[in-house]
Amino acid sequence: MTPSSKKPIHAPIQVGRPVPDFELPGTNGETVKLSGYRGRKVVLYFYPKDLTPACTQESCDFRDAAPSFGEANAIILGISTNDLKSHYKFIQKYELPFVLLADPEHEACELFGVWQEKQLYGRKYMGIVRSTFLIDENGILIQEWRNIKVKGHVDTVKQALGGGN
């Protein structure tokens, strides 16, 4: 790929700076625009794949914590490269009460720097590095957690929102 044929490069997102806007199809039947949530905090979590053990645990942990996130004026959005059909199955099977966004072209993933080379059993491939971003009511990134481990992560995010354990 020649430099002129690449997608425009955005400056890396940084804590304390505005998060670039994006639009993706959501399981709410709409094209979801990040800026549409101004006035509320957004917990944006990127996960590798629907219906896999760690991603299911993480999503169910967010599901179980959703009421306390709502009390903190925060909404939860999950993003993976799976399509909407896969997301609908995931939501139905685990009764997830929040919108999942489909990013098959990994546009938002690249915007947030979570689309990276990974390695499993000696094989290298591109994929999502599990990460969560906390965005304030004005669209400013206030905290990020990259390459996270699932156990205890949602409690850490709740604490950042002032929700305790």
Is residue 55 flagged as an active site residue? yes
State the angle between helix axes of 153-160 and 53-71 in degrees (0 to 180), rounded to the nearest 10: 20
| Nearest-angstrom CA–CA distance, 143 and 109 | 17
Catalytic choice (24, 32, 55, 128):
55
Max Cα–Cα distance, the chain, nearest Å: 49
Strand runs labelled E in 59-158:
74-80, 99-102, 115-120, 123-128, 131-135, 141-146
Residues carrying an active site annotation? 55
